[in-house]
Amino acid sequence: MSNKHFSVTYADWEQNKTVLRAVRESVFIIEQNVPKDLEWDDRDKGSLHVVATDVNGKTIGTGRLTDTGQIGRMAVLNEWRNCGVGSALLEKLIELADQHKIHPLYLNAQKKAIPFYQRHGFECTGDEFIEAGIPHQRMEQQH
């Protein structure tokens, strides 16, 4: 997916981990105070990743899909929020899931992001929980 301001493509973790980590560090570790040891796990290597870049090639967002169908690590730099980047990232992850026949899809949404994911066909399941000090809700894709 692309528009005149940014594009979203598949990203190989080994080739792109420096820029993917930079966005996640900016959003999760610096902005949201998520401890580094909670942000960096062993699932990045085996996951499918997407990256959003601006017209100058600067990385502005990222997300990943695990082999179990979990969408996560969705991060968009602050100045690019509410510009369609998150939606484009999520749509690309769903497309990758379809291509790789990874279903069902689920995620742990920060409570403030629930309406965003609901607009993309995900529904809340289970109880609210705290992860990295932030209220979250499990959500599953509905067809």
- Sequence ranges of the domains in the chain: 6-141
What is the spatial distance between Cα 94 and Cα 71, in angstroms, rounded to a whole number? 9
Please give the CATH topology (third level) of the domain spanning 6-141.
Aminopeptidase (3.40.630)
What is the spatial distance between Cα 11 and Cα 119, in angstroms, rounded to a whole number? 25
What average pLDDT is seen over the chain?
Answer: 94
- Do the Cβ atoms of 59 and 10 come closer than 8 Å? no
Give the pairing of strands 134-141 and 106-110: antiparallel
What is the spatial distance between Cα 104 and Cα 107, in angstroms, rounded to a whole number? 10
Per residue in 77-102, is it b (16+ CB within 10 Å) or e — as a string?
Answer: beebeebbbbebbbebbbebbeeeeb
What is the spatial distance between Cα 119 and Cα 110, in angstroms, rounded to a whole number? 15
DSSP state of 79: G
- Counting as low any pLDDT under 50, the low residues of the chain are 1-2
Per residue in 20-39, is it b (16+ CB within 10 Å) or e — as a string?
Answer: bbebbbbbbbeeeebeeeeb
